[in-house]
Amino acid sequence: MSLAGKQVVLGVTGGIAVYKAVDIVSRLRKMGAIVHVIMTESAARFVTPLTFQEMSANPVVVSMWGEMKQWNVEHIALATMADVFLVAPATANIIGKIANGIADDMLSTTVMATKAPVIFAPAMNTQMYCNPIVQKNIQELTLLGYQFIEPARGLLACGTEGVGRLPDPCDIVNFVVDHVAAENDFAGKNLLVTAGGTREAIDPVRYIGNRSSGKMGYAIAAQAARRGAKVILVSGATGLSHPPNVTVVKVESAAEMREEVLKNFFSCDIVVKAAAVADYRPEVAEMQKIKKNDDTLILKLTKNPDILRELGQIKERQLLVGFAAETQNVVNYAKKKLNEKNLDMIVANDVTAPGAGFNVDTNIAKLLFRDGKIVDLPQMPKEKLACCILDYIRELVTNRT
Ligand code: CTP
């Protein structure tokens, strides 16, 4: 695998690890990439732009206001030209800026303007890396489809020991190579993803809901779009931002979700139903707010349609992936759902296990297949699980053709 002919834009921000970025440039070029370097002013204090210019054989941009050397469309040129964007080392500052939409220098402006996949390799002091603000920024960007290379552990320049070291340049370049290889492996595929919980109206003020955050489905939609799929995300209520290059259709109730899913089903190749659909809804949604009168209030519930089961009955060439949120007998219940709903794969998890289920950023899943195969995955961030799920879906698609 190589990067032959790929335009790689390397953003270098100010930290002691800047010197390692010189090696990254060299390795990227050895893999066949054409490398363009953008440095922040502080990065240029650690290593001179001239070093990067010599290593990349291309002019290095530091300031927005300097004389342009080669590009005719000024700031946006590198953003458009990039096949992949790597920021290494990435400081807390650049991560915070991008997460908050701040574009006040050449690097942040170009990252914000690019449609290319962006990979950050954070490197900073352990306390800084573990700071909840930095972690929140990383999570938000990850959910939007930005990639992060986990920093390494070890002795840091500040004398402390812990997580925060820039990984070995060789590992960073391998990550970029793998990433580029995964790019476009869903090109030409139409994916329908559902996410989040439904809300079933009791009256104009209240509803029956559930604890789903929507993170799993959003991560799958973001990663699939990054890998070249045309993605429609039918989403229940969530507080999440729309992933880039994904068509988002917002719905409230199971009935609305069913309608949108059926509308798009036959133009889809793959359906991933990560939504937590309410199994029951109030038989009557009152037109006026229910007043508190009696000591008890009985709500009569009626069954909602099982959207996934319906898809399993009408499916033609579509590959169907369901989720099973369980609190006990995970494998048995998931197997039953896989067979009864006529699915190709089911992602099962025990939502009561620590580090899994609703409203946490990690999950522990088992993947079950029609041939009886079960893949036991360890605890991992939902974004990583999204990538794993897509890898197995791609395998199923490939085996079919
Ligand atoms: N699902 C659906 N429509 C429903 C209920 C569930 O499409 N009315 C889908 C979910 O999106 C998920 C799968 O079916 O992909 C399994 O959902 P889950 O809530 O785990 O199971 P249920 O089939 O609802 O069964 P139970 O609640 O009894 O476990």
pLDDT for 143 = 84
Sign of the C-alpha dihedral, residues 261, 263, 145, 199? negative
- Structural contact between residues 8 and 86, judged by C-beta atoms closer than 8 angstroms: yes
**Alpha carbon of residue 332 to chain centroid:** 29
Query: Which residue's CA is minimally distant from atom 6 of ligand 1?
Result: 277
Average pLDDT of the chain? 92
In angstroms, the Cα distances linking 224 to 139, 177, 184, 262, 379 are: 18, 18, 9, 20, 21
- Structural contact between residues 52 and 22, judged by C-beta atoms closer than 8 angstroms: yes
Q: Which atom of ligand 1 is nearest to the CA of 325?
A: 20
Q: Which atom of ligand 1 is nearest to the CA of 324?
A: 20
Q: Which atom of ligand 1 is nearest to the CA of 261?
A: 7
CATH topology match: 7-182 vs 190-400: yes
- Structural contact between residues 126 and 163, judged by C-beta atoms closer than 8 angstroms: yes
Pocket of ligand 1 (CB under 6 A): 254, 273, 275, 277, 279, 304, 306-308, 322-325, 337
Mean pLDDT of all residues in 372-381: 92
Query: Which residue's CA is minimally distant from atom 4 of ligand 1?
Result: 306
Query: Which residue's CA is minimally distant from atom 20 of ligand 1?
Result: 324
Taking the centre of ligand 1 as the mean of its atom positions, its distance from the CA of residue 202, in whole angstroms, is 21
Taking the centre of ligand 1 as the mean of its atom positions, its distance from the CA of residue 185, in whole angstroms, is 29
Sign of the C-alpha dihedral, residues 318, 326, 388, 166? positive
Q: What are the strands, taking DSSP E only, across 265-355? A: 270-273, 280-282, 301-303, 319-326, 345-350
Q: 75 pLDDT exceeds 50?
A: yes
Query: Which residue's CA is minimally distant from atom 18 of ligand 1?
Result: 324
SS3 content of the chain, % helix, strand, coil (to 5): 35, 25, 40
**Tell me: the pLDDT tens digits for 132-173?**
999 999 999 988 889 999 999 987 777 778 899 999 999 999
pLDDT for 72 = 45
Query: Which residue's CA is minimally distant from atom 21 of ligand 1?
Result: 324
Taking the centre of ligand 1 as the mean of its atom positions, its distance from the CA of residue 278, in whole angstroms, is 8
pLDDT for 68 = 56
d(CA 75, CA 27): 26
Indicate the top mutation candidate among 301, 308, 350 to test ligand 1's pocket, ranked by most ligand atoms within 8 A of CB. Answer: 308
In angstroms, the Cα distances linking 253 to 69, 149, 264 are: 56, 38, 17
**Tell me: the pLDDT tens digits for 94-120?**
999 999 999 999 999 999 999 888 999
Mean pLDDT of all residues in 122-134: 95
pLDDT classification of 73: cutoffs 50, 70, 90? very low
Residue for token digits 């240029």? Answer: 44
pTM equals 0.76
3-state SS, residue 187: coil
Q: Residue ranges of the domains in the chain?
A: 7-182, 190-400
Q: 244 pLDDT exceeds 90?
A: no
d(CA 145, CA 225): 9
What CATH topology corresponds to 190-400? Rossmann fold (3.40.50)
Catalytic residue among 158, 170, 268, 387: 158
Mean pLDDT of all residues in 16-39: 95
Sign of the C-alpha dihedral, residues 269, 259, 300, 214? positive
Q: Which atom of ligand 1 is nearest to the CA of 278?
A: 8
What CATH topology corresponds to 7-182? Rossmann fold (3.40.50)
Taking the centre of ligand 1 as the mean of its atom positions, its distance from the CA of residue 272, in whole angstroms, is 12
Q: Which region holds residue 304: left if phi is over 0, alpha if psi is between -120 and 50, else beta?
A: beta
Residue for token digits 């502080």? Answer: 42
Mean pLDDT of all residues in 281-288: 97
Q: 66 pLDDT exceeds 80?
A: no
- Structural contact between residues 199 and 186, judged by C-beta atoms closer than 8 angstroms: no
Q: Is 158 a catalytic residue?
A: yes
3-state SS, residue 175: helix
Q: 343 pLDDT exceeds 50?
A: yes
